[in-house]
Amino acid sequence: MKEKGKFMKKTYILYNPVSGNNIGKEGTDKLCELYSDKAFELKNICEITDYREFFASISAEDDIILCGGDGTLNVFVNNTQGIEYDNDLLFYGMGTGNDFLRDIGKEKGAEPFSIKKYTVALPTVTVNGKSYKFLNNVGFGIDGYCCEVGDKLRAENKKNINYTTIAIKGLLFSYRPTNAAVVVDGKEYSYKKVWIAPTMNGRYYGGGMMPTPEQDRLNKERTVSLMLLYGSGKLKTLMAFPSLFKGEMLAHTDMTKVHVGKEITVKFDRPAAIQIDGETITGVTEYSVRSAACDTSGARSSASACAD
């Protein structure tokens, strides 16, 4: 855009209408007020089908603000893999779980801030022959089960879905733990009665649970952390469960284990749901993660157009 022969910088606000329990468009109102004295354009992220075309259509000096939650971030980084762009990428968080915001010390609705350094050198997870980048985590076990149940409730137009409540009910009634075979950087392990087996790039998942309090998404080695909650019965697991929200679960050394590595494979002895930054895949028996330190696949997923 030019004004009186000079280039005028423009801000593209990419909003997700389904974020924040389907109030994504309304959630941008405050942001639009902040930019009311600047040149900006609103674009529905669900309608962008070709990101190469999108970046080619704007100036390298223009800013991009991504509005949404963890799922929105996941969709964006997957659909822009392999595309180089000079624009600064900012984030305006207004999702429901907001684990990315929590991990870097930001709050929902905070003024837009640059996140470009967080969207490069990401780990890759391969599930059922397809590969995806992820920012926060891959969850296998009752965490995947929670997302599966939450998706069903959302499809029924249920409001105020509480994943903690789903998890507790799952622990008590519906969910059965599995046995798991684990390989971390070539070393093999086996675990009985596994309740959760997330591989973490950040510290948080599930709307505030912290299974790996020492994990640093920007660590120099680009390692990820696999946490296992295993070997315990329903009552003992339920009693320890609240400590996940305090980052204190690892104090239960008889039922938890963390493996840090660059290549991790987890295989269950029966199918279960898996979630990747909150997006659910059902009927999975195995997933493999490669950190950015060893991932040369350039994997790019066919990510869903819209996610929280």
Share of the chain above pLDDT 90, in %: 62
pLDDT of 123? 97
Arithmetic mean of pLDDT, 198-223: 95
Which tens digits make up the pLDDT trace of 8-21?
688 999 988 876 55
pLDDT average, residue stretch 182-190: 98
Q: What is the model's pLDDT at position 21?
A: 53
Instruction: List beta partners, residue 289.
Output: 125, 264
Beta bridge partners of 127: 130
Instruction: Show the domains of the chain with their CATH numbers.
Output: 2-118 (3.40.50.10330), 124-290 (2.60.200.40)
Which residues have a Cβ under 8 Å from the Cβ of 296 and sit 6 or more positions away? Answer: none
The pTM assigned to this predicted structure is 0.88
Contacts of 103 (CB under 8 A, 6+ apart): 136, 202, 203, 204, 217
Instruction: Answer yes or no: is pLDDT of 143 > 70.
Output: yes
The pLDDT of residue 159 is above 60: yes
pLDDT at 90: 96
- The continuous run of DSSP H or E covering 237 comes out as helix 234-240
- pLDDT category of residue 32 using cuts at 50, 70 and 90: confident
Identify the pLDDT of residue 301: 47
Strand ranges for 185-231 from DSSP E: 187-196, 199-200, 224-230
Among 240, 239, 144, which residue's Cα sits nearest to residue 196?
Answer: 144
Least confident of 32-36, 92-96, 223-227: 32-36
**Is 28 or 141 the better-scoring residue by pLDDT?**
141
Q: What is the DSSP string of 65-113?
A: EEEE-HHHHHHHHHHTTT----S-EEEEE--SS-HHHHHTT--TTPPPE
Selection from 35-44, 91-100, 298-307 with the highest mean pLDDT: 91-100
Residue 66's pLDDT is what?
A: 94
Looking at residue 25, its pLDDT comes to: 60
**pLDDT digit string (tens) for 84-127?**
999 999 999 988 889 999 999 999 888 999 999 999 999 999 99
* In the predicted structure, residue 179 carries a pLDDT above the cut 90: yes
**Residue-level pLDDT at 303:** 53
Q: Collapse the DSSP code of 234 into the 3-class scheme (helix H, G, I; strand E, B; otherwise coil) and give the result.
A: helix
